[in-house]
Structure formats: structure tokens, C-alpha cells
């Protein structure tokens, strides 16, 4: 799809306007992943090298996933509600709308005189004054990496590590369909600038807690295969999740357990929260997860998307199986 209709600027103008701000706050989405955190920290390092004051905000009052504590600036991530000051620039990064930033960050966005969005998720309308969204970018860190040239900052090893981490996680360590030529060229540039793929892999993919294996066993126990083996879904209730002792960052990789099952083409994971069920979808082949997630008010990318449904788990599972089965009927 590329640059989306809500985009109203260029990367050059985006950089020029960012540079005019002296104090910026940067916030990503709830339940931040590697791309979200990598984008925030890379921008923090870049803007601070220009003499800017920068706060990197967490959307919810939850600790950032320890998986990414090896990245420079990780300790600076702070819940948005704990920062009382108003900046002169607010950057939404890897997040397409205010709802996915949480209440406290959304209030900061409203109060800030100059606002920006840098993202690769399609959204019908703009949330900020300047918006640059490119869905053809494999990760938001690819857009950050390209933006650095217009900011005129040095692409340091620490920045490269942050950007490579975001790119690696959003491409499933370069296994997903979005690991295209643009992504691989950017990855090569990041490595040339000092990113170390083995360090990223060791921290993100090879370091798992015992609790995560307990969680994985539960995911397999709860797995249901349907549509002649082409579809798979698993779910975790609040009670089951609490009993494993795992944290939310452990859960993020669980959908890959389903995705790697031989014969599956579309898979889904459902995690129960107090008032809703959070869904993740993945596809192998040319199925469109945006269509599936869109049926529940969600969105994302063609190969990976998500949604939230405010219904009981049992009802959600039936609705999701129906939506996946319908998508599987299409030519792929």
C-alpha cells in the first residue's frame, strides 16, 4: 500500500518541524513490542544528539518488557502519567490512534502545541498535525532509520541496535512476508552502523523464562485445530495466565507456536483481560489479516493484525473461527 492517504507531510518536512521543538515527548502503543520500544529509544538518542530534551513514555502503568532492557535508554521509559510537564512537541510512534496510547498520554497529546505521528499502520484519520504513515515499511524503525538522514544525525551503534531490534521483531527475525528487499537493505545498513544481530537474537529469541515454557504448554493444551487443519486458535484466561507466573511480554511470542504448526495457514491467539479479549492474528501465504481483524474493529498488516472484543471468551472464539474460515475460502 505504501504511503497512506492520511499522510500529509514528507520525511524532510517532518524532520524540519521536529528540530524546531526543544522538548519532546515520545509515546508508543499499549503493550509495547520491540518495534515500538526500538522506535522510541532510537528517536530519543537521535533527538538528544541534536541537543533536545526528550522523555520516552509508556502508555500504561506497566513496566516495559525486560526483553528489551539491553537497548540504550531503556531505563528512561516512564509511565506517561508520571510526567507532569507539557512538551512543545509530542511524537506518536508506531501507534495509529490516541486510543492505543492510553488515557494519560492522550491527554498530553491534546495539550501539546505541535504533534507528530510516525507509523506503518493504516488508519482512516489523522491523530496529529503532521502524520507520516507508510504501510510498506516492515517496521516503524525502518521509517526512523530513513528519517535520521533528514535529521542530520549520526547513525550510531546504539541507534542502529534499537532500529535493528524493531525490524527483527516485526519481521519475526526476518521470517515473515514483510522481510522484503527494503527491510533487508535497511538491516544491512544497521549492521554496518554497528548493530549486532546475534545480540538481538540472544536477548529477544533465545532468552526465555521458565514461566514462559509453562505458558507455552498451556497454549498447546488449549489449542484447537479447525478448517481441515488450515486454521488454529488458542486462548488463555485470566486465571490460567496468572497461574503460569508469566508476564505479558512472554505471551507476545506464543502465536508463533501456532504459526509454526505444519499445515496451518491462519492462526489466532486470544488473551482474556478483565473487560475484553485481546486477539492476535498471523497468516502464512497471501491471506489478509487486516480483513479478519477489521471484522472486530481491529487492524494491522496483511500478514499480522490484532483486535479487541468486549465479549466472553467462548463467544469470541466462535466468532474468530468463523472469520478465519471465511478468509481461508479465498484464493491464496
Transcribe 210-231 into DSSP letters: HHHHHHHHHHHHT-EEETTTTE
Task: Judge whether 223 and 258 are in contact, CB under 8 Å.
Answer: yes
Other CB atoms within a 10 A radius of the CB of residue 186 amount to: 22
Q: The C-alpha cell of 283 is what? A: 497468516
Handedness of CA 231, 318, 272, 215 (dihedral sign): negative
In the block, residue with C-alpha cell 512538551: 87
Task: Judge whether 120 and 297 are in contact, CB under 8 Å.
Answer: no
Q: How does pLDDT run along the chain (332 residues), one tens digit per residue? A: 578 888 999 999 999 999 999 999 999 998 899 999 999 999 999 999 999 999 999 999 989 999 999 999 999 999 999 999 999 999 999 998 888 898 999 999 999 999 999 999 988 889 999 999 999 999 999 999 999 999 999 999 999 999 999 999 999 999 888 999 999 999 999 999 999 999 999 999 888 889 999 999 999 999 999 999 999 999 999 999 999 999 887 888 899 899 999 999 999 999 999 999 999 999 988 899 999 999 998 888 888 888 999 999 999 999 999 999 999 998 64
Task: Judge whether 318 and 279 are in contact, CB under 8 Å.
Answer: no
Q: How many residues does the chain have?
A: 332
Name 196's Cβ contacts closer than 8 Å, sequence gap at least 6: 161
Q: The C-alpha cell of 145 is what? A: 532509520
First to last CA, the chain: 18
Strand 304-309, strand 299-300: pairing: antiparallel
CA 51 – CA 42 distance, rounded (Å):
15
Amino acid at each position: 500500500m505504501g504511503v497512506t492517504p492520511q499522510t500529509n507531510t514528507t520525511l524532510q518536512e517532518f524532520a524540519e518541524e521536529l528540530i524546531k521543538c526543544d522538548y519532546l515527548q515520545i509515546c508508543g502503543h499499549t503493550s509495547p513490542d520491540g518495534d515500538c520500544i526500538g522506535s522510541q529509544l532510537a528517536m530519543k538518542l537521535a533527538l538528544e544528539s541534536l541537543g533536545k530534551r526528550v522523555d520516552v513514555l509508556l502508555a500504561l502503568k506497566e513496566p516495559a518488557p525486560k526483553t528489551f532492557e539491553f537497548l540504550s535508554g531503556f531505563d528512561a521509559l516512564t509511565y506517561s502519567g508520571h510526567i507532569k510537564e507539557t512538551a512543545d512537541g509530542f511524537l506518536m510512534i508506531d501507534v495509529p490512534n490516541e486510543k492505543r496510547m492510553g488515557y494519560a498520554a492522550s491527554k498530553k497529546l491534546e495539550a501539546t502545541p505541535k504533534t507528530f505521528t510516525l507509523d506503518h499502520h493504516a488508519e482512516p484519520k489523522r491523530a496529529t498535525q503532521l502524520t507520516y504513515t507508510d504501510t510498506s515499511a516492515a517496521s516503524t524503525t525502518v521509517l526512523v532509520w530513513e528519517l535520521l538522514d533528514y535529521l542530520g544525525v549520526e547513525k550510531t551503534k546504539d541507534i542502529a541496535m534499537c532500529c535493528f531490534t524493531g525490524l527483527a521483531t516485526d519481521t519475526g527475525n526476518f521470517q515473515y512476508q514483510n522481510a522484503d528487499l527494503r527491510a533487508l537493505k535497511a538491516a544491512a545498513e544497521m549492521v554496518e552502523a554497528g548493530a549486532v544481530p546475534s545480540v538481538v537474537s540472544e536477548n529477544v529469541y533465545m532468552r526465555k523464562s521458565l514461566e514462559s515454557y509453562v505458558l507455552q504448554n498451556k497454549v498447546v493444551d488449549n489449542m484447537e485445530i479447525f478448517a481441515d487443519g488450515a486454521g488454529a486458535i488458542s486462548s488463555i484466561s485470566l486465571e490460567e495466565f496468572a497461574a503460569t507466573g508469566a508476564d505479558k511480554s512472554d505471551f507476545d511470542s506464543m502465536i508463533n507456536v501456532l504459526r509454526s504448526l505444519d499445515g496451518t495457514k491462519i492462526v489466532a491467539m486470544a488473551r482474556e483481560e478483565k473487560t475484553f479479549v485481546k486477539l492476535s492474528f498471523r497468516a502464512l501465504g497471501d491471506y489478509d489479516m487486516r480483513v479478519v481483524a477489521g471484522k472486530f474493529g481491529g487492524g494491522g498488516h496483511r500478514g499480522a493484525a490484532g483486535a479487541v472484543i468486549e465479549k466472553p471468551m467462548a463467544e469470541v472464539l466462535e466468532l474468530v473461527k468463523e472469520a478465519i474460515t471465511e478468509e481461508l475460502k479465498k484464493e491464496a
